[in-house]
Amino acid sequence: MLMTIIPLAMLMVSVAIALNLWRLAMGPSLPDRILALDTMYVNAIALLILYGIYQGSPLYFEAALLIAVMGFVGTVALSKYLLRGDIIE
């Protein structure tokens, strides 16, 4: 059963990422694009974990953890740039 459910779930998450890409391209403002990127990395984590379950391998977890850490730092750095016009003060 799982082997049919997981590709379905992966399809749903992929559609979600495609929608995020659309918002990323459309804008209309910079915070919108930051938000789209933020959502996209969270969805990428979901996709990666799903793939890990599908393959039955826990190896992909480390990559998911790295994406989580880097994505958060990226979001904060971009917002900080908007707030102050500078990332490191």
- Chain residues binding other proteins by CB under 8 A are 1-2, 5-6, 8-10, 12-13, 15-17, 19-20, 22-23, 29-32, 34-36, 38-39, 42-43, 45-46, 49-50, 52-53, 56, 58, 61, 64-65, 68-69, 72, 75-76, 79-80, 82-83
CA pair distance 22, 38, nearest whole angstrom:
14
Q: What's the min distance (Å) between Cβ of 78 and other proteins?
A: 8
Retrieve residue 77's tokens.
């750095």
Element holding 58 (H helix, E strand)? none
Q: What's the min distance (Å) between Cβ of 17 and other proteins?
A: 7
Q: CB–CB of 42/75 below 8 Å?
A: no
Q: What's the min distance (Å) between Cβ of 88 and other proteins?
A: 16
**Residue type for position 8:** L
Q: Which of 59, 58, 68, 52 is nearest to 6 (CA)?
A: 52
